Amino acid sequence: MIPTLWALTRRYVPILAVFFAIWVVMNERIDWIIAGSGVLVAVVTLVLTNRVLGVDFATIFLSPWSTFRYLLALLRAMVSAAWGMAVIIVAGPPVVTEFQYESGLTDETLLFVLATSITLTPATVSVERDGSTITVITADSDLERARAGCASLEKSISRLLPPPAAIARPERNE
């Protein structure tokens, strides 16, 4: 059965909107060239991710409301990190530090989305992932604030799948 254009549109428009919004934020302006290239980049990214990596984002971003909340959390993290980085630059040369972030996510694709989201925020780069441990390099000398930013992104990402599959809950010993 070949999917109809309406079915494909309903399935992929939220993901394309997220990619487009990230493109506009990264370019820091919007005009016809940015909008056109943003749509093109969103479509190419979606196709290549599906074909080359075998990741179907439509199976991850199940709820449009969860996708929207994730997008807002990512944009908030990007803006917050940019302001924090501006303060660090004005105060003096940044101190680059490395830390390990232990995620509670169990799904491989969600861990990939988390590592990518960390890299999208200014002054942070996820450089390695071993299971659920992500090695992060940051220019923020306050590691607790950097870990809190990672935890905030993780919380938003964990909502993209139903609760039992998304995040591991530690057992309580009572």
Residue 170 located in a structural domain: no
What is the spatial distance between Cα 136 and Cα 134, in angstroms, rounded to a whole number?
A: 6
Which strands make up the sheet holding 124-130, listed edge to edge?
A: 97-102, 133-138, 124-130
Taking only the tens place, the pLDDT of each residue in 124-141 is: 899 999 989 999 999 887
Residue 174 located in a structural domain: no
The predicted pLDDT at position 50 comes to 77
| pTM exceeding the 0.85 threshold for the entire prediction | no
The predicted pLDDT at position 121 comes to 84
Residue 111 located in a structural domain: yes
Domain boundaries, position 32: 5-163
Measured CA distances, 63 to 25, 122, 145, 161 (Å): 23, 27, 29, 8
Residue 140 located in a structural domain: yes
Assess whether pLDDT exceeds 60 at residue 13: yes
Residue 169 located in a structural domain: no
H-type alpha helices, the chain: 5-27, 32-48, 64-91, 108-120, 143-158, 163-166
Give the number of domains in the chain: 1
Residue 172 located in a structural domain: no
What mean pLDDT value characterizes the chain?
80
Please report where in the chains the tokens 């070949």 appear, as a residue: 2
